[in-house]
Each structure stands twice: as C-alpha cells, then as structure tokens.
Amino acid sequence: MANISAAMVKELREKTGAGMMDCKKALEEVGGDLEKAVDFLRKKGIAKAEKKSTREANEGLVGSYVHAGGKLGVIVEVNCETDFVAKTDDFSEFVRNLAMHIAAAEPVAVTREEMPQDMIDRELSIYKEQIAASGKPEHIAEKIATGKLDKFYSERVLLEQAYIRDPDKTIKDYVTEMVAKLGENITVRRFSRFKVGEA
C-alpha cells in the first residue's frame, strides 16, 4: 500500500473540497495517484448525489446578478434541504455563478419539460423543412430532426447547457458536484432574465 502523506491528503482536499477522511481513503484506494483519487471522489460524489436527488429541497436562496451598467439582470431561485447549507459561502457563490451563467448563456427554461411547446414546434418545423429540401428519406429525416432538437435543447435548456466557466461540464454536472460537496439535494427552481428594451 502506498504511503499517504498529510500533504497529499491536503492537496486532494483543496482540489475536490471532500472531507479529510474521504481524501485519505480515496488516495489509499488508488495507490496514491492524485488524478485517479480525484476521479474516485467524483464518481463516489455523483453516486451519493443521485441518492440525495429524491429528498425534499424547500430551503435555499434567491440570487441576482446585474450586468452591463444595469441593462441586464437575472434573478434565480435555488433550493437546498436546510437553512444551514443555504447560508454557507459555497452555496451563495454557487447561486451567484448560476445567475451569471444565465445572464451570459440566455437559457429559456430550467428543464426540457419546461420549454414552451410553441418554441419546440417552431424549431421542429424548421428542421423538417430543411431536411425535406435536402431530399433525405423519411426514416433518416426523423433521426436528423431529433438530433437537431437535442442540440437546440443543449443550447436553450439551463441544466443541459455547457457551463460558461468550464465548458467541459454541463450545469447539471455543476449542480451534481455541489450536491456531493454540500451533502444535500439541490434544485434550480426557476429564473427570470431581464434585458432593457427586450419584450
């Protein structure tokens, strides 16, 4: 078994935000390899986060972000399970980061299910017209339309968008990381984005 030093545990803790004992155990599990330990903790955290996703989240914060000299603003409600977590710096920063992301990325809804049906229908009709014009067979046209709609969702649905500060992960991944870090279920309840002069 690899000799796990306190410095290694400290470095892993700083990288992941996981507890000291979890960091020590992760390093022991992977023979002292720091990168593998990070992956080990992320997988463990995601598994824990999935278990927490069924728990009630009725506490939380309403966060805001104003940009461009007061011309653009966002209000977002993010829920967690306890007032204790809602008052932590980590949770406050998370809510603010989400508000900033919403300001920059212009999502329309939190989930696919909340997307306005008329917007989806309009996109689908455009795709179908484009595909029909290209002369593709019907069964292929359907697959292409579905693929284009998935891409549309990834651009317009908050949880499916690439996080502006780390495009390798989605907002859903970012939420899952925070669930693992804070130990509570977290849900993005709703948001509003305001831009001066926009209907």
pLDDT, tens digit (0-9, with 9 covering 90-100), for 142-183: 788 888 899 999 999 999 999 999 999 999 999 999 998 898
By the 8 A CB rule, do 159 and 172 touch? yes
Is the model's pLDDT at 135 over the cut of 90?
no
Residue 54 pLDDT level (bands cut at 50, 70, 90): low
Q: Model confidence over 87-130: pLDDT tens digits?
A: 999 999 999 999 999 999 999 999 999 999 999 989 888 887 88
Residue 51 pLDDT level (bands cut at 50, 70, 90): low
pLDDT for the residue 55: 65
Where b means 16+ CB within 10 Å and e means fewer, 61-80 reads bebebeeeeeebbbbbbbbb
Q: What stretches of 32-162 show up as alpha helix (H) in DSSP?
A: 34-52, 83-86, 89-105, 117-134, 138-156
Taking residues 184-189, report their average pLDDT.
Answer: 92
Domains, the chain, in order of start with CATH, read 6-52 (1.10.8.10), 59-110+157-195 (3.30.479.20), 116-156 (1.10.286)
- In this structure, what are the phi and psi dihedrals at residue 80, rounded to the nearest 5 degrees? -135, -175
pLDDT for the residue 8: 87
Nearest Cα to 181, choosing from 61, 41, 17? 17
What is the percent of the chain where pLDDT is above 90? 46
3-class DSSP assignment, residue 126:
helix
pLDDT for the residue 34: 87
Taking residues 72-90, report their average pLDDT.
Answer: 94
User: Which range (33-42, 83-92, 180-189) has the least confidence?
Assistant: 33-42
pLDDT for the residue 186: 93
